[in-house]
Structure 1
Amino acid sequence: MVKLSLILCVYNGEKYVDEAISSALDQSLEDIELIIVNDGSTDKTLDIINSYLIDPRIKIINQKNKGLGAARNVGMNHASGEYIGFLDADDWLDSKMCEVAYNEAKSNDTDITMFKIINQDDSTGEKYESDWFNLKNLDGRFDNKVFSPDDTKDVLFDFSVSACQKIYKNSFLKEIGAEFPEGIYFEDMPFFYYVYLNAERISIIREHLYIRRKHDSSITEKIDAKFLDTVPAGQIMFNNFVEGGFYEDYKFDLIAYKVNGPRMALASITDDYKAPLFNLIKEDYENIRKTEYYNDFLDNLGPKKKKFFLDMLKSDSYDEFIEINENKY
């Protein structure tokens, strides 16, 4: 068993994947494996991957394009490492990421160890920090300490959900049956909350061990059809809280978080997808109205989110919704 399995999933990543692979193989911790899932690339991605096959630590899995969630699940199924980490094909790792993260996780027997991410603007090369990726919601009390989800109830929804910001004990993931939703974007969100809430031992590292490339073609940069999936991702997340028995403990923040994601997406999504997103949100809210949780939405949402929720239910079309809201949602 190797100490750490890195899972790199790539689809048509010829522009950046070389740097991602190099950063994984140049780690100070050598006892790793790099599992590359080529998710049906049609460009030169596979040629670039094959150029690294001289390194025996690489496993390549070629499959038809199924999306990131399905590719990551395949990678996890093939991972033999004691711990698992994820690397996106357009990002790269600090050279000591695996060593520092593994030593922290191993010494404290953690299920999850989180570290800081730093952003780099692809056009200027400028690096910049963000509170979201800097674990700012965890104060000094969490330094050099193993903690549980019960210790972070008040800040759970302020965490970055990025799968790449953590390493996970492989046996723990298998024990809880962890997997990414398949066929949708924003698969990190339901995966993170499911895994985090089922963990018992968590720790953090206050070092930037992962570099996140910011460029125009990254998934979260352009608010287009991909953001339709904020609705099904939120449904999966909500159901995980309910089915896992976590709903009552988190319902106030959970309900706000579930409404706010699609609300913000609707405000920002390109005009040609506003009506389709409206239809998805309305259908979701109509289904909620039929459940025992409907009154919790009415009782726990703040004024702005509650108005959004009720105006959705009142409106038969996006145009009608806009008339009610006067573009202020």
Structure 2
Amino acid sequence: MNTPLVSVVVPIYNAERYLNKCIDSIINQTYSNIEIILVNDGSSDSSLEICSSYESDNRVKLINKKNEGLSSARQTGIDAASGDYLCTVDSDDYINNDFIEKMTWKISKESSDICVCETRVYSEDHPKYVRYFRINEKAYDTVQITKDSVEQHYAELAQTYYMSDSWNKIYRLDFIRNSGVRFSLKKSFNGTDLLFNHLLLLHLPKVSVVNEALYNYQVLENSRVRRKDKQLQKGFMIIFNNIIEEVRKLGYSDSIFLEISKLYVTMLDYAASDLFNSTSKYNVLKTKFEEFCILNKEFLHENNKLVIDPEQMRTLSLRTFCVLLIKRNKSSLFLYLNLRQKLFRLIWVLKGVSFAH
């Protein structure tokens, strides 16, 4: 029996502090039939030199390109991949030494298109901060996603399998290429993994699960600084326009728009939180909030099949946000979001953590 080749794509931008740990964790896998595609996305630090030091391993392929952002770097790696399966590791994270062995065994055994594992979230700057992205045990069994299940449970499926992330997964490469889905979000926006995986979900993958935390995701102190100019709301609107276009192309019924609406409200709420974290200057915040409301109104007008229904939201916070969004009382919505964000910050302070995740 042939041992499947696994392509491991590592997009890299100014990651010199963590890069050795990341690459070493891949080099030292218990599963050896791998190709390691290091994509240096125009780093200005010593990342390229660090990558070059690994080229003596014949499994390593180094691609040095101009800086075009994470989406372009991931796609460059995928285009260069020749494996049966593919996974991607962020350059400031690392994987357990049996990550590829266990994930490849599962996806091969189940003949699935995507395999998802649980994740350990940590910070080297805050050693006491550790938490886990667990998968509900009801989702442990391998599932063939169907058109009906997507139309009725798209939002739940996306949440269950952490479809906002790519790094806790291994994919059958032919499934990705046959779907035509590519990493395409411009570097001025966040959400490249979200767009990629939500589009893949519409192509009805067979999904399996490894219920172990095999991936180690690091929360960085400067993650907020790197994200503050990323225009989350505008990025999410681009993402949802792409999802809606794919839905129409694949012939889904209009019933799916309720599910897309749930996802939209969840992402809009996230964008609102990010906005209220972006500045402590009241007048600047008010101006940004006005733009936030105008953009939302325009987006819903253009996508009139979206249904904003508080009863469909899964948490009290989201239901409250939804109610105030519908009433279009800007003052009440602004007050609620402002107070909620102050409460969130207080909770982080009490936990002794000075960053947001």
Q: Distance in 2 between matches of 1:30 and 1:127?
A: 32
With over 3 angstroms needed to count, the CA separation of the structure-2 counterparts of 1:281 and 1:105, relative to structure 1, is farther
Which residue is equivalent to 1:192?
A: 197
- For 1:75-86, what aligned pairs fall within 5 Å after superposition? 75-86=77-88
Q: Distance in 2 between matches of 1:193 and 1:32?
A: 27
Q: Deviations over 1:52-98 (max 9, x none)?
A: 11001111111111010111011110011111101001000100001
Which residue is equivalent to 1:90?
A: 92
Aligned length: 312
1:182 to 176, 182, 186: 186
| 1:289 equivalent in alignment to 2:301 | yes
- For 1:43-82, what aligned pairs fall within 5 Å after superposition? 43-82=45-84
Determine helix, strand or coil for the equivalent of 1:52: coil
- For 1:250-329, what aligned pairs fall within 5 Å after superposition? 250-271=259-280, 274=285, 275-276=287-288, 278-279=290-291, 282-293=294-305, 296-297=307-308, 302-308=319-325, 310-311=327-328, 321=330, 323-325=331-333, 327-329=335-337
Determine helix, strand or coil for the equivalent of 1:70: helix
Which residue is equivalent to 1:117?
A: 119
The aligned amino acid for 2:279 is T
Tell me the TM-score normalised to structure 1 length.
0.84
Q: Distance in 1 between matches of 2:112 and 2:298?
A: 41
Q: CA deviation at 1:208?
A: 1.1
Unaligned runs of 5+ in 1: 315-320
- For 1:126-275, what aligned pairs fall within 5 Å after superposition? 126=128, 128-130=130-132, 133-135=133-135, 138-140=136-138, 142-148=139-145, 150=149, 153=154, 155-159=156-160, 160=162, 161-180=164-183, 181-183=185-187, 184-217=189-222, 219=223, 221-222=224-225, 225-241=228-244, 243-244=246-247, 245=252, 248-249=255-256, 250-271=259-280, 274=285, 275=287
Give the RMSD, CA atoms, in angstroms. 2.7
Q: CA deviation at 1:143?
A: 2.5
Unaligned runs of 5+ in 2: 314-318, 338-357
With over 3 angstroms needed to count, the CA separation of the structure-2 counterparts of 1:114 and 1:303, relative to structure 1, is same
The aligned amino acid for 1:248 is S
Q: Distance in 2 between matches of 1:70 and 1:223?
A: 17
With over 3 angstroms needed to count, the CA separation of the structure-2 counterparts of 1:177 and 1:29, relative to structure 1, is same
Q: CA deviation at 1:226?
A: 3.8
With over 3 angstroms needed to count, the CA separation of the structure-2 counterparts of 1:241 and 1:204, relative to structure 1, is farther
With over 3 angstroms needed to count, the CA separation of the structure-2 counterparts of 1:281 and 1:173, relative to structure 1, is farther
Q: Distance in 2 between matches of 1:13 and 1:50?
A: 14
Q: Is the CA contact 1:194–1:241 (under 8 Å) kept in the aligned structure 2?
A: no
302-311 or 106-115, which deviates more: 302-311
Which residue is equivalent to 1:317?
A: none
Q: Is the CA contact 2:7–2:83 (under 8 Å) kept in the aligned structure 1?
A: yes
Tell me the TM-score normalised to structure 2 length.
0.78
